[in-house]
Amino acid sequence: MMRRAGVLVVSVLLALLTGCEPGDGDAVATPTSTVPGLEAHTDVLELVRAADDAAKRRGTALFALSDGGAIHGDGDALPRPDGAPHPGAAPRKPIGAGRLAYRDGGVDILVRTLQREENIEFRAVGDAVFVQPIGRLVPIARGMPWVRLAAMVRRPLPRILGPEMVHAPSIVDPTHTFDLLVAAGTIVSSERAMLGDTKVTQYDIELDIERLAEHIRLSSAGQPRAALLTALRTLVDQGTTTAPVTLLLDRHDLPRRVRLLNIAALPTRGPDAEDLPMLTVNYRDWGKPVAVAPPPPGSVATVPR
């Protein structure tokens, strides 16, 4: 499974929910299962290898990011194969939309924020991060429509964009989620479901919080992760030892929806909070040509180091 260089820096969110069935020219996945009548992966590593390979082969996708609510909520519940929705199920509006394109050694991401008083576009291309100036960045832009952020000055971004936007690459890139699943996940169950008009297999997976914390500690050397690691260890001390992940794959093993723990929100979670914050990423149009490029030359101001 390939690791995405620079995926922990910055960028943001998604396109529209559900999506179209991929072309019939692709080979149909043939997973294994011990569940009668259901072809589904039964091992996390097997599941990840199949989905990672499918995503890499397609190379591009549109995505949408929404607040997934709390783990006990039904806001993202899926209809069962008979079409009956869960009581109280309702779609959540995306907070961001965009596209991703894999390249050798990394992923480029373009995101447009939604539901903000002033929506902006945000791009992570290679090791460079470009953002349309708002707030404290406006005077720095000196009239330019874009600002390129040097690595040393990206820490104020959570106050400008919000933590979900800043950590979006580690949320919307499904291969990063796959890393978390391999490090700390166990498949609990799988079943058929419908996502719009698309038949999917829904995998319910548990993340072991202690193993997740250790994975983040080892894979985030040199990054300011102390607050996040403390928040994860506090969860364990309070008795929350696992966090749920819901992964929906279509018949080609392509990710169509991921619902997972909003890790970026944990450090600001109140000490008396009982629910785990969640995020939902929906994918569509895998393999259709999309462009993720730097802004045009002459339109970018650089934040001084």
Position 87 pLDDT exceeds 80 = no
Residue 237 has pLDDT above 50, yes or no: yes
Using 50, 70 and 90 to split pLDDT, how confident is the model at 91?
low
Per domain, the residue ranges of the chain are: 44-302
The DSSP letter of residue 5 is B
Arithmetic mean of pLDDT over the chain: 77
pLDDT at 88: 34
d(CA 28, CA 300): 44
Collapsing DSSP to helix, strand or coil, 179 comes out as helix
pLDDT of residue 68: 65
Q: Which of 13-22, 211-220, 221-230, 244-253 has the lowest mean pLDDT?
A: 13-22
Measured CA to CA in angstroms, residue 185 lies from 63, 198, 205, 259 at distances of: 23, 26, 6, 14
The amino acid sitting at 185 is G
d(CA 278, CA 56): 25
- Rounded Cα distance between 172 and 170, Å, is 6
Give the pLDDT confidence score for residue 303 in this predicted structure. Answer: 72
What is the mean predicted confidence (pLDDT) over 204-225?
A: 86
Phi then psi for residue 176, to 5 deg, are -70, -40
Mean pLDDT, range 271-285, rounded to an integer = 87
Q: Does the pLDDT value for residue 243 go beyond 80? A: yes
Dist CA 2 CA 153 (whole Å): 28
pLDDT tens for 186-203 read 999 999 999 989 999 999
Q: Within the chain, where are the H helices?
A: 44-58, 138-141, 157-161, 163-166, 169-172, 174-184, 209-219, 226-237
Q: Are 112 and 15 in contact (CB under 8 A)?
A: no
DSSP 305: -
Residues 113/119, Cβ–Cβ less than 8 Å: yes
**In this model, does residue 1 exceed pLDDT 70?**
no
The beta strands (E) that lie in 27-137 are given as 60-70, 94-103, 106-113, 121-125, 128-131
Domain 44-302 class, CATH top level: mainly beta
What pLDDT does residue 158 have? Answer: 52
pLDDT digits (tens, 9 = 90+) for 19-33: 333 333 333 333 444
The distance from CA 291 to its chain's CA centroid, rounded to whole angstroms, is 19
pTM passes above 0.75: yes
Residue-level pLDDT at 275: 84
Higher pLDDT among residues 167 and 104, named by residue: 104
The residue among 155 and 140 whose pLDDT is bigger is: 140
Residues near 163 by Cβ (< 8 Å), separated by ≥ 6?
A: 264, 265, 268
Task: Estimate to the nearest angstrom the gap between the alpha carbon of 265 and the chain centroid.
Answer: 14
Can you give the pLDDT at residue 221? 60
Percent of the chain with pLDDT over 70: 70
Q: Average the pLDDT over 29-54 and give the result.
A: 74
- Whether residue 156 is predicted with pLDDT greater than 80 in this model: the reply is no
